[in-house]
């Protein structure tokens, strides 16, 4: 799923870049084949966007991203100019080979004019900005806000996953706020791939907790929401040595799943946000807080569990009905567990020995 989504994203970016080149060619060089502008734009712009996203020359990209603002801007412009010039030269040689252009000399064809550089840089910065905004809001929220889906409140059914870090206060007391922020950043980064794989969306981060959501039908199909939770736990366990080496402890998580009817609306004036209102959200938060009192890492409401087939290997334990603060009706609660993977058992024994 990730590969298909990534491929579609880059296909759209490639088309957008090609169109920008065609527009430039039509305006500046009327009468010339538009394919020339498209080829130049793709080979100039796509590598720059790939560099900015950390796909092309990832080490250099990460080093530049970590610089202070002024050095970052200088280094980024220099890197963009070098990458664009290389792309321009490749495009010129390719078009010359297929006899689309006939420059006075090879050297003349390979030197990118200033106006082309400035235009290409502007297009790349615009597309890069759009991608950054999409990353900030999340893919699904960005798309919904773009089409104003929730400009008027909508009643719908959703699944919510509340997942947070246990013992975060103790970690902060030992290591300080800055180190704790780094710890949480790494932890939330580990959530991203399982959530994306199971077609969920990370709605928000609140302190040491993350809120993940799915439209109900999508979340229960193939038990995606349950599989997502265990994939997140696996992603942490599979990197036990890395966590111990970098932070001195392995994150211990608590998670709760619940679903039902909610009101979804776009709110805000200067700062817009898609927000969820209703008992379902509050119930999920309180269910997650019960993980501590019931001594269970993963809880799910009986109502949501009854809407899907539990994945093989997952053990469902009925914990009875429990009264929740602010909720008139008691909530049926169940725990989800799974036997530890043999590889993780061996790893724990190795670390213990």
pLDDT tens-place string over residues 13-60? 899 999 999 999 999 888 888 999 999 999 999 999 999 888 889 899
Q: Can you tell me the mean pLDDT for 128-144? A: 75
Alpha carbons 120 and 40: distance in angstroms, whole number: 10
H/E element holding 175? helix 168-175
Reported pTM: 0.72
Whole-number average pLDDT of the chain: 87
Q: What is the pLDDT of residue 273?
A: 79
Question: Do 30 and 42 meet the contact criterion of CB atoms below 8 Å apart?
Answer: no
Alpha carbons 250 and 259: distance in angstroms, whole number: 29
| Nearest Cα to Cα of residue 337 among 322, 317, 318, 320 | 317
Highest mean pLDDT among 30-34, 61-65, 114-118, 247-251: 247-251
Q: Can you tell me the mean pLDDT for 217-231? A: 95
Of the pLDDT bands very low, low, confident and very high (cuts 50, 70, 90), residue 149 is confident
Q: What is the pLDDT of residue 352?
A: 39
Q: What is the pLDDT of residue 109?
A: 66
Of the pLDDT bands very low, low, confident and very high (cuts 50, 70, 90), residue 108 is low
Q: What is the pLDDT of residue 217?
A: 95
- Secondary structure (3-state) at 122: helix
Asked whether the predicted pLDDT for residue 276 surpasses 60, the reply is: yes
Asked whether the predicted pLDDT for residue 145 surpasses 80, the reply is: no
Q: What is the pLDDT of residue 343?
A: 42
* Domains contained in the chain, CATH given: 2-137 (no CATH), 152-352 (3.30.70.1230)
Q: What is the pLDDT of residue 347?
A: 45
pLDDT digits (tens, 9 = 90+) for 337-351: 987 664 444 444 443
Alpha carbons 336 and 332: distance in angstroms, whole number: 13
Alpha carbons 161 and 194: distance in angstroms, whole number: 13
Q: What is the pLDDT of residue 79?
A: 92
Question: Do 43 and 87 meet the contact criterion of CB atoms below 8 Å apart?
Answer: yes
Q: What is the pLDDT of residue 106?
A: 59
Highest mean pLDDT among 170-174, 296-300, 321-325: 296-300
Question: Do 252 and 239 meet the contact criterion of CB atoms below 8 Å apart?
Answer: no
């Amino acid at each position: 799923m990730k590969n298909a989504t990534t491929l579609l994203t880059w296909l759209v970016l490639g088309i957008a870049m090609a169109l920008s080149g065609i527009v430039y060619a039509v305006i500046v060089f009327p009468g010339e084949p538009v394919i020339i502008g498209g080829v130049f734009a793709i080979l100039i712009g796509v590598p720059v966007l790939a560099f900015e996203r950390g796909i092309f020359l990832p080490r250099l990209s990460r080093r530049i991203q970590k610089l202070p603002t002024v050095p970052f801007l200088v280094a980024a412009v220099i890197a963009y100019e070098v990458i664009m010039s290389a792309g321009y030269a490749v495009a010129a040689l390719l078009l010359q080979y297929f006899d689309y252009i006939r420059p006075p000399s090879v050297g003349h064809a390979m030197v990118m004019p200033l106006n082309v550089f400035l235009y290409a840089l502007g297009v790349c910065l615009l597309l890069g900005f759009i991608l950054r905004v999409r990353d900030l809001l999340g893919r699904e929220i960005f798309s919904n806000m773009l089409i104003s889906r929730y400009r008027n409140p909508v009643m719908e059914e959703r699944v919510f996953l509340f997942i947070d870090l246990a013992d975060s206060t103790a970690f902060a007391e030992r290591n300080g706020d800055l180190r704790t922020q780094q710890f949480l950043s790494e932890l939330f980064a580990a959530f991203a791939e399982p959530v994306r794989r199971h077609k969920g969306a990370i709605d928000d981060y609140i302190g040491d907790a993350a809120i993940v959501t799915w439209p109900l039908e999508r979340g229960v199909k193939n038990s995606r929401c349950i599989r997502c939770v265990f994939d997140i736990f696996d992603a942490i366990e599979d990197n036990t040595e890395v966590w111990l080496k970098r932070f001195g402890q392995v994150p211990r998580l608590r998670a709760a799943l619940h679903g039902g009817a909610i009101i979804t609306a776009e709110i805000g004036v200067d700062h817009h946000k898609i927000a969820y209102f209703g008992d379902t959200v509050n119930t999920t938060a309180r269910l997650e807080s019960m993980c501590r009192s019931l001594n269970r890492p993963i809880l799910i409401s009986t109502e949501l569990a009854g809407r899907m087939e539990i994945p093989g290997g997952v053990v469902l334990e009925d914990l009875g009905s429990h009264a929740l603060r602010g909720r008139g009706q008691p909530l049926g609660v169940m725990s989800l567990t799974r036997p530890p993977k043999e590889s993780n058992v061996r790893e724990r024994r190795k670390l213990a020995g």
